[in-house]
Amino acid sequence: MPAVLPTLTTHPFIRKRSEPVVTAVDLPYPSALVFNAGVIKYRGEYVMLFRNDYGTNQYAYENLNQRFTGTSVGIARSKNGIDGWVFDAVPLMDSNDPAKDPEIGRFYDPRIIQIENRLLLCLAMDTRHGIRGAIGELSEDLRSWKLISASVPENRNMVLFPEKIGGEYVRLERPMPVYSRGRDRFDIWLSRSPDLVYWGKSELVLGVENVPWANDKIGPTAAPIKTEKGWLALFHAVDRDETRGKNGWEKQWTKRYTAGLMLLDPEDPAKVLSVYREPLIAPDTPIETDAGFRENVIFPCGMLAEDDGSVKIYYGASDTCVCLAEADINDLLSLLL
Ligand code: BMA
């Protein structure tokens, strides 16, 4: 179906790769959708953690009412961050793992951040008592992980800054205040911690009302990049239109997800220095607008600065595959200064 109205387009500074970098057929274990991937450079390789939903397919979903049976988080590595991804034989975490705490349903939407010599994970965590934001640590050999802390419900989309600021760990996060803000009026917040366990000094960073094209919710995406001008950060922004129809496998999908760009103060990242007034990345290619589980979804979880001044942005497209967009860091900053 044609792009939803009002038409939102990707900024010309963004270069999207024409093909996804990872899709379900690449995985060595059951997979229906591979998306929302965090990426870092680690020991000379690109390491990707991705979300994998499995247990059905489009035909069975639409015609036999067969739903997903599990969600896992898997790991892949590549020499260039673009192709040649090598997948671990088993996922790092799986909602059907019999050894899992029964209180926890699943982990998903992984972000990976290296701080000093630690590999830290931020994950959404569905539990019997609500959606929580979790922080974990990955072992040096990338084979195992442990949970460090989890927020109270309802919170997710956490992402750590890649270094301590003012001696503290800092994270962006997205609580879901359903009683006080109205349906899905969700904003970006920031909290600080001395040890990754105790979190506090929480402050509002950006309200959804400050993003001109969002009429629904916003949330953090990937770890911000440090620049001389401040922290370069992406966010996701959602506009909802109840007249939107099928748009994917479900009977109706009314939301569109885009990526926006902002600059945060270098010393106090709770202060927004600038927000670019239009989307940076919008769903406007066939895989993003006309195919996949939920069409019109751009959901970045990884952003990397390269030595040559380029930036790689990894995003889930249509909740179906992992795509890559590139830009020059100075071009992105020029939108904000
Ligand atoms: C959000 C999360 C993401 C997903 C997005 C679009 O609420 O569940 O994992 O990509 O919705 O469906």
CATH superfamily of 15-334: Glycosyl hydrolase domain; family 43 (2.115.10.20)
Instruction: Flag residues of the chain having pLDDT under 70.
Output: 1-5
**Closest residue by Cα to residue 278 from 17, 38, 18, 13:** 13
Question: Is the beta carbon of 258 within 6 A of some atom in ligand 1?
Answer: no
Query: Which pLDDT belongs to residue 272?
Result: 98
Query: Which pLDDT belongs to residue 1?
Result: 47
Domain boundaries, the chain: 15-334
Query: Which pLDDT belongs to residue 295?
Result: 98
Burial class (CB in 10 A: 0-12, 13-18, 19+), 100: middle
Residue with CA at minimum distance from ligand 1 atom 4: 319
Report the separation in Å between the CA atom of 173 and the middle of ligand 1, taken as the mean of its atom positions: 15
What pLDDT, in 10s, does the model give residues 315-325? Answer: 999 999 999 99
What pLDDT, in 10s, does the model give residues 111-162? Answer: 999 999 999 999 999 999 999 999 999 999 999 999 999 999 999 999 999 9
Residue 280 is encoded by which pair of tokens?
């940076």
Report the separation in Å between the CA atom of 109 and the middle of ligand 1, taken as the mean of its atom positions: 8
Query: Which pLDDT belongs to residue 2?
Result: 47
**Closest residue by Cα to residue 174 from 184, 161, 187, 183:** 187
Q: How far apart are CA 64 and CA 270, in angstroms?
A: 48
Query: Which pLDDT belongs to residue 6?
Result: 78
Burial 243-274 (b: 16+ CB within 10 A, else e): ebeebbbeeebbbbbbbbbbbbeeeebbebee
Question: Is the beta carbon of 319 within 6 A of some atom in ligand 1?
Answer: yes
Question: Is the beta carbon of 294 within 6 A of some atom in ligand 1?
Answer: yes
Question: Is the beta carbon of 235 within 6 A of some atom in ligand 1?
Answer: no
Question: Is the beta carbon of 297 within 6 A of some atom in ligand 1?
Answer: yes
Report the separation in Å between the CA atom of 254 and the middle of ligand 1, taken as the mean of its atom positions: 13
Report the separation in Å between the CA atom of 298 and the middle of ligand 1, taken as the mean of its atom positions: 9
The predicted model scores a pTM of 0.97
Q: How far apart are CA 74 and CA 60, in angstroms?
A: 24
Contact 255, 240 (CB under 8 A): yes
Q: What SS3 class is residue 30?
A: coil
Question: Is the beta carbon of 293 within 6 A of some atom in ligand 1?
Answer: no
Residues in a beta bridge with 200: 192
DSSP states of 100-166: S-TTEEEEEEEEEEEETTEEEEEEEEEETTEEEEEEEEE-TTSS-EEEEEEPPSSEEEEEE-SS-BT
Query: Which pLDDT belongs to residue 3?
Result: 52
Which contacts of 55-58 are long-range, i.e. CB under 8 A and separated by 24 or more positions? Answer: 55/30, 56/32, 57/32, 58/249, 58/293
Query: Which pLDDT belongs to residue 15?
Result: 98
Residue 311 is encoded by which pair of tokens?
């930036």
Ligand 1 atom nearest to 299, measured from its CA: 10
Q: What SS3 class is residue 33?
A: strand
**Mutate which of 36, 49, 111, 184 for ligand 1 pocket (most atoms within 8 A of beta carbon):** 36
Question: Is the beta carbon of 109 within 6 A of some atom in ligand 1?
Answer: yes
Query: Which pLDDT belongs to residue 182?
Result: 81
